[in-house]
A and B are shown apart, each in its own frame.
Chain A
Amino acid sequence: MLMPGPTNSRSKCCRCEQKVFMTRKRSLVSVVDDDESVRESLPDLLREFGFEVRAFSSAEEFLTSDCVDQTKCLILDIGLPGMTGPELQQELKNRRQEMPIIFITAQRDETICSRVLEQGATACLFKPFSDTALSDAVNAALE
């Protein structure tokens, strides 16, 4: 299994991750999903992969956080209440804060999926997805 290597540049804003920062330089992966069980389970798995993880319940919450610049990979639910996943993708593009995005969705909708991939997303995973599918996608995103 591919593990993420230490990043060269240290993020300025990671005051909150003092402990992690001090022990090891780890890439920050942000998860945005309105489903609580996803926000609970996914960060645990990603941490098992060795990433730094932050979870947000909405696009707005993520945008107003201080993690946008540091996020090396965004795992983004498509069907969010309020600003949707694809809208957040566009918003980031507008703000010139592009980052690799892995979309996840419980709705098996190929058209939306291919549209977001066209817009530059790294991958689109249908829930439920396997751990390998997830790690492949994250590693691809960080390459």
Chain B
Amino acid sequence: MDILNRWAHPLAVEPRPERTESGDDLSARFKRADALNFQLIVESIPALVAVLTPTGQVEALNQPVLDYTGKSFEELTGWANTDVVHPDDMAPTIQSLRKAMESGDAYELESRHRRADGVYRWFHVRGFPLKDTDGRILRWCFLLTDIDDRKRAEAQLAGEKRLLEMVASGCALTDVLTALCKFVEDTSADCHCGVYLIDWSGPKFRIGAVPSLPSTFNDPCEGLTVSLDVGPCGVAALTKTQVIVEDFESDPLFQSCAIRPLSLAHGFRSQWSTPIFARDGRVMGTFAIFQTNPASPTQVQQDLIAQVTHIASIAIERALSEAALKRSEAFLAEAQHLSRIGSFAWRVATNEITWSEELYRIFEFDPHVRITLELTGTRIHPEDLTLFHDLIERATSSASDFQYEHRLLMPDHSIKYLHGIAHGTRNEDGELEFIGAVQDVTNRRLSEEALGKARAELAHVTRVMSLGALTASIAHEVNQPLSGIITNANTCLRMLAANPPNIDGARETARRTIRDGDRAAAVITRLRSLFSKKDTTIESVDLNEATREVIALSLNELQRNRVTLRSEFADNLPPVAGDRVQLQQVILNLIRNASDAMSGVDDRSRELLIRTELDGGGQVRVSVQDAGVGFDPQVMDRLFDSFFTTKNDGMGIGLSVSRSIIASHQGRLWATPNEGPGATFSFSIPFARDV
């Protein structure tokens, strides 16, 4: 029998020695029957089966082995020296076999085996020992299962996964498309691939990736017009269908197309062009496979083409939208750069801070550093740090929008002025997040400061000028009668000294002297009434409210002077009767004085405290406390004199005017030095009893 012949060494022919010695014929007969059964079973298995002796000699091979390999049993006994196992897999195969024989354990292996036509296919190899009842190994049995389709699918899947990963990780489009072409070329032997992108404004083809095609082929393709005459890719793009040219030589449709001579000159007989669609159905490009032999795609190849064109479509679309996004980001960055506005996001819970490019530029930080509050703090001007920390604390505790102005001290000791606005929101997890914009207002602030300085100088000059004019007018008004007084007195003396004395004349001039003296006094009275002239409106005034209004008016100036303002308002403060505007002028004056007094303070925070409270004796008290230079207790009495000032550039009129306003409200204005640095100016006025 053929079958038996192929079993060159039937299993039962080599009985175990001890059994033979025992002479148990019945047992041997049974064993022979077992062996025959085994042999029949093995032959009927559709898989490839090999049986080896415990020492590794090929003992038996079933028919499928001989059919698959196309080799004879004799050829295969020396398999280790042939190419039946793929050269790359031979060493692991031998090693695994040797190891198994030493240990006596079954094992599994995946390796490529050569088919009769020379194609290597993947097999799952399972080797297991056949043992007798005592556990001794009689034979090694090998079962080879063809897993090539699965393996191929796996490889294709892995390839696709790798490509998708490239797309997802933001690899450059050219890299993705190049990998894609290589993948197809590796998977499907003997072919060249190309991805051609379409610029519809031409419309023109642009080469996306052509990793294995020569430049003599590629260069003429670049920039070809997308038309029906250009070749398979043009037709595919315009008709939105796959175009299969099995053989350029014989295909009647493409006899006169532009690409034909080029393809044939490079030995490409067949070309398969598949359109690459965007999600909205537009054609973004074509995927082409060139082969030297006339061919049409198999189903497997069609599946592969469908898969890669899909990936190519994702990659191209993503690249296009990324380019669009980058363009709009570039626009935004440019706008931010032009307006010197940076933006930020700050997730409070995690302290995660994101800055725009421009904000990095404003702070002059390397764009790669991780931004933290601490790092930001290193740039804040030391004098503004307290303000900055206050701001952070207030923002995080109140979760409200905030605005701020502060300075940066740059490493080169230059100063930048920033104006920021932030909006607090809660994200989907309920976490507080601030999104804000920061503008570099240095130029504006510097010009503002220059303007402010000019204005202040002008104000000072005006004040001095008006004071000068006032003095001149006072002098003129007073000098006229004085002149009369002196002239008359002189005349009087002369008349008395004459011989004889002119008594009547002297009496007359003396009388005129008195009259002129009265006139001078009248001038002074008139001037005084002119100065104290006022149109007061007495009404019921809520000092809390009045103070709040003043604070609102002064906040900007205080912030510019880097003064931190705190207020403590007494509840249920009774209203006072008075002139609201005048009282507000006093409060404003006290706040300005306090702010001015702190302008030179750099070693502590410039804190200003405004307090309203009920004072004893039916009075309301407003006090303004600063941390400024304070004053010498010895000069306390003179503080409120007109023209007394501790300020270098002050006129000192404010406090005396303030005091007279408060006095006209039956109130009192006074100053006390603080325990710590600075002074407190307070006034108290009686509250309205019948308003």
Tell me whether A and B are bound partners.
yes
Cross-chain contact A45 with B487 (CB below 8 angstroms): yes
Residues of A with C-beta under 8 A to B512: 37, 40-41
Total residue contacts A-B, CB cutoff 8 A: 74
Given contacts A106-B475, A106-B476, A107-B475, contact A131 B484 (CB under 8 A): no
B682 at the interface (CB under 8 A from A): no
Cross-chain contact B490 with A38 (CB below 8 angstroms): no
Cross-chain contact A107 with B476 (CB below 8 angstroms): yes
A17 at the interface (CB under 8 A from B): no
- Do most interface residues of chain B lie in helix, strand or loop, or is the interface mixed? helix
Cross-chain contact A128 with B475 (CB below 8 angstroms): no
Instruction: Count chain A residues whose beta carbon lies closer than 8 angstroms to a beta carbon of B.
Output: 21
A118 at the interface (CB under 8 A from B): no
Other-chain contact of B485, A35, A104, A107, A128 (Cβ < 8 Å): A128
A67 at the interface (CB under 8 A from B): no
Cross-chain contact B490 with A107 (CB below 8 angstroms): no
CB 8 Å contact bits of B449-485 with A (1 = contact, 0 = none): 0000000000000000000000010011001111111
Residues of A with C-beta under 8 A to B495: 48
- A127→B487 CA distance, assembly (Å): 10
Q: Which residue, of B484, B494, B509, B519, has the highest number of chain A Cβ atoms within 10 A?
A: B484
A9 at the interface (CB under 8 A from B): no
Cross-chain contact B483 with A129 (CB below 8 angstroms): yes
B505 at the interface (CB under 8 A from A): yes
Cross-chain contact B479 with A41 (CB below 8 angstroms): no
A24 at the interface (CB under 8 A from B): no
Cross-chain contact A106 with B488 (CB below 8 angstroms): no
Cross-chain contact B494 with A45 (CB below 8 angstroms): yes
Within 8 A of B (CB), among A34-60: 35, 37-38, 40-42, 44-45, 48
Cross-chain contact A48 with B491 (CB below 8 angstroms): yes
Residues of B with C-beta under 8 A to A35: 480, 483-484
Residues of B with C-beta under 8 A to A40: 484, 488, 512
Other-chain contact of A131, B480, B490, B505 (Cβ < 8 Å): B490
Cross-chain contact A130 with B481 (CB below 8 angstroms): no
CB 8 Å contact bits of B486-524 with A (1 = contact, 0 = none): 111011001100100000010001001001100100000
Residues of B with C-beta under 8 A to A109: 472
Instruction: Count chain B residues whose beta carbon lies closer than 8 angstroms to a beta carbon of A.
Output: 24
Given contacts A37-B516, A41-B487, A44-B505, contact A127 B494 (CB under 8 A): no
A115 at the interface (CB under 8 A from B): no
Q: Which residue, of A107, A127, A129, has the highest number of chain B Cβ atoms within 10 A?
A: A127
Other-chain contact of A106, B479, B485, B486 (Cβ < 8 Å): B479
Within 8 A of B (CB), among A88-108: 104, 106-108
Given contacts A37-B512, A131-B494, contact A106 B480 (CB under 8 A): yes
Q: Which residue, of A40, A42, A79, A128, has the highest number of chain B Cβ atoms within 10 A?
A: A128
Residues of B with C-beta under 8 A to A45: 487, 490-491, 494
Q: Which residue, of B479, B495, B509, B512, has the highest number of chain A Cβ atoms within 10 A?
A: B479
- A130→B494 CA distance, assembly (Å): 13
- Tell me the minimal C-beta distance from B258 to chain A in angstroms: 97
- A73→B487 CA distance, assembly (Å): 18
Residues of A with C-beta under 8 A to B479: 106, 126-128
- A108→B509 CA distance, assembly (Å): 26
- A129→B490 CA distance, assembly (Å): 10
- Tell me the minimal C-beta distance from B541 to chain A in angstroms: 44
Residues of B with C-beta under 8 A to A79: 476
Residues of B with C-beta under 8 A to A42: 487
- A129→B486 CA distance, assembly (Å): 7
Q: Which residue, of A37, A38, A79, A109, has the highest number of chain B Cβ atoms within 10 A?
A: A37
- A89→B472 CA distance, assembly (Å): 24
* 6 cross-chain pairs, A with B, having the tightest CB-CB distances, nearest first: A37-B484, A127-B483, A106-B479, A41-B487, A131-B490, A128-B483
Q: 29 interchain pairs (CB within 8 A)?
A: A35-B484, A37-B484, A37-B515, A37-B519, A38-B483, A38-B487, A41-B488, A41-B509, A44-B487, A44-B488, A44-B491, A45-B490, A48-B491, A48-B498, A79-B476, A104-B483, A106-B479, A107-B472, A107-B476, A108-B472, A108-B475, A109-B472, A127-B479, A127-B482, A128-B483, A128-B487, A129-B483, A130-B486, A130-B490
Q: Which residues of A contact B (CB under 8 A)?
A: 35, 37-38, 40-42, 44-45, 48, 79, 104, 106-109, 126-131
